[in-house]
Amino acid sequence: MRKVLLWMGLAILLQLQLGSAYKLVCYFTNWAQYRPDPAKYSPNNIDPYLCTHLIYAFATMKENKIAPFEWNDESRFFPEFQALKKRNNRLVTLLAIGGWNFDMKTFTQMAASQANRKTFIDSVVAYLRKFEFDGIDLDFEYPGSRGSPPEDKHHFTILIQEMLEAFKVEATSTGKPQLLITAAVAAGKGTIDAGYEIAEIGKLLDFISVMTYDFHGGWDPVTGHNSPLYQGSTDQGDMKYFNSKYAMEYWNNNGVPAEKLLMGFPTYGRTIKLSSSATSVGAPASGAGSAGPYTREAGFWAYYEICTFLRSASVCWINDQKVPYAYKGNEWAGFDNVCSYKHKVKYLKEKKFGGAMVWTIDLDDFLGTFCNEGKYPLITELKRLLETNEPIVADCPKDQSCYTGGGTTTPTPSPPTGPTPNNKFCSGKEDGTYADPADRTKFYMCAGGRTYSFSCPTTLLFDESCTCCNYPKY
């Protein structure tokens, strides 16, 4: 009996020493160094105790071998990144390869043959050991999509299988801890189906980060939130798949153990230009919102840019999706805050997922001077929520109306607007969204027999598979 009590005590002590059982995986981006002061960010800015895992984004590939992307990755940033482990010896660091701007043709070429895959895997082992990373994060966006052929879906599985075997052999021969293999994967159902043999890679990978963000943005014809937790009450067709809950449970239900799945938490928001006086979810939109002064990308604002916008904007809560949005003039922003994080972590814990993934550490208010909410207000709250053993009571916000400068206002309704050139198109049709049969850049919304016409933003075409404007399929 005394031995049992002793072991129980040791187990409790070990848990207290290690902290939360949940992973908190944070990405650092090597292009954050190019932002204007005071938003410029380097590995020296990172708090090494904030996250359990740090992932360096991104490396690239040349001649089937892993390669640095930025000029100072190897000479400065890698050493600074690994020096964080001297301050926190429990910190795990990984190197991500890929990203949205990665040319998938290079992945297709590498993955197509056993010889090319071996060249890549051997280069990864040597590179990770040379620069003291604990593993590789595969962030190819995406096998089977964006120019990647259907066979890349299976090739991705084979690559992971062969990489895992090589990592085991290397660890045995050197006596070093085995390198980790993780992946950042799509959250959209169509992209998941095209790109992943879900159950197979779920057995092989150490953990999987689901990119539960970018569900909506300036590419859509109407406003929608960047990272909703739940399906919206007005979501129709494939739009019902565009939420964090559906994505996480789709991966889980198709064979990935819950404890291996990490839910994505964005520290940024997507901005959209309003094209009418309507302002709520589903309001007509005309492309990406203005670029932020520091991130300088149309339709994309860091949290530290959003919180300054909120001081003079109308801020609203989407009750069915448990996330906020704000608008001022024709600028509309769907973003996350500590309140939406609370709802998301409550859900994450109820489903027993493995933890959270943050994109990115450098987009939070790392100085604490923009938002006056302390340093890293979003990630700090996320860490607290994951570590607490107390039940999470997601009771915020209690006031579900909009407010501006502290005063409440009534949310503006967002019916489709008209008139339209083809006012007979919807006659006899059910309410919904329809392609213009004569012009792929246009579409119609039908409501109560009335016809409302819209045009997709430049370079996009209407896609019936998602009832949205999308990039042309290759």
Q: Which amino acid is at 39?
A: A
The alpha-carbon radius of gyration of the chain (Å, integer) is 23
**Token representation of residue 270:** 């997507």
Q: Give Cβ neighbours of residue 433 (< 8 Å, ≥ 6 apart).
A: 236, 237, 443, 444, 445, 446, 467
Return the axis-axis angle of helices 338-350 and 377-387, rounded to nearest 10°: 30
Q: How far apart are CA 359 and CA 268, in angstroms?
A: 8
Domain residue ranges in the chain: 19-266+337-399, 418-474
Mean pLDDT score of the chain, rounded to an integer? 88
Question: What is the rounded distance in angstroms from the CA atom of residue 250 to the CA atom of residue 19?
Answer: 29
What is the token pair recorded at 158? Answer: 């084979």
Please give the CATH architecture assigned to the domain spanning 19-266+337-399: Alpha-Beta Barrel (3.20)
Do 19-266+337-399 and 418-474 have matching folds?
A: no
> What residues are labeled active site?
141
CA dist 213 and 273 (Å) reads 19
Distance CA 57, CA 360 (A): 10
Right CATH number for 418-474 from 3.30.70.260, 2.60.40.10, 3.90.1640.10, 2.170.140.10?
2.170.140.10
pTM beyond 0.75: the answer is yes
Say if residues 246 and 240 touch (Cβ distance below 8 Å): yes
Longest dimension (CA), the chain: 84
Strands 407-409 and 432-435: unpaired
Q: Is cis: bond before 142, omega within 30 of 0?
A: yes
**pLDDT by residue for the chain (474 residues), tens digit each?**
443 333 334 333 334 334 468 999 999 999 999 999 999 999 999 999 999 999 999 999 999 999 999 999 999 999 999 999 999 999 999 999 999 999 999 999 999 999 999 999 999 999 999 999 999 999 999 999 999 999 999 999 999 999 999 999 999 999 999 999 999 999 999 999 999 999 999 999 999 999 999 999 999 999 999 999 999 988 888 899 999 999 999 999 999 999 999 999 999 999 999 999 999 999 999 999 999 999 999 999 999 999 999 999 999 999 999 999 999 999 999 999 999 999 999 999 999 999 999 999 999 999 999 999 999 999 999 999 999 999 898 888 866 668 775 333 333 333 333 334 456 788 878 767 788 888 887 777 766 666 766 666 545 567 776 566 655 553
How distant is the alpha carbon of residue 409 from its chain centre?
A: 31
Burial track 431-445 (b if 16+ CB lie within 10 A, e otherwise): eebbebeeeeebbbb
Answer for the pair 259, 273: CB distance below 8 angstroms, yes or no. Answer: no
At position 10, the amino acid (one-letter code) is L
Are the C-beta atoms of 248 and 351 separated by less than 8 Å?
A: yes
| CB atoms near residue 187 (< 10 Å) | 24
**176 vs 126, 167, 172, CA distance in Å?**
13, 10, 7
Yes or no: say if 56 and 19 are a contact pair by the CB < 8 Å rule: no
Nearest CA-CA partner of 209 in 178, 233, 181: 181
Tokens 């016409």 sit at which residue?
453
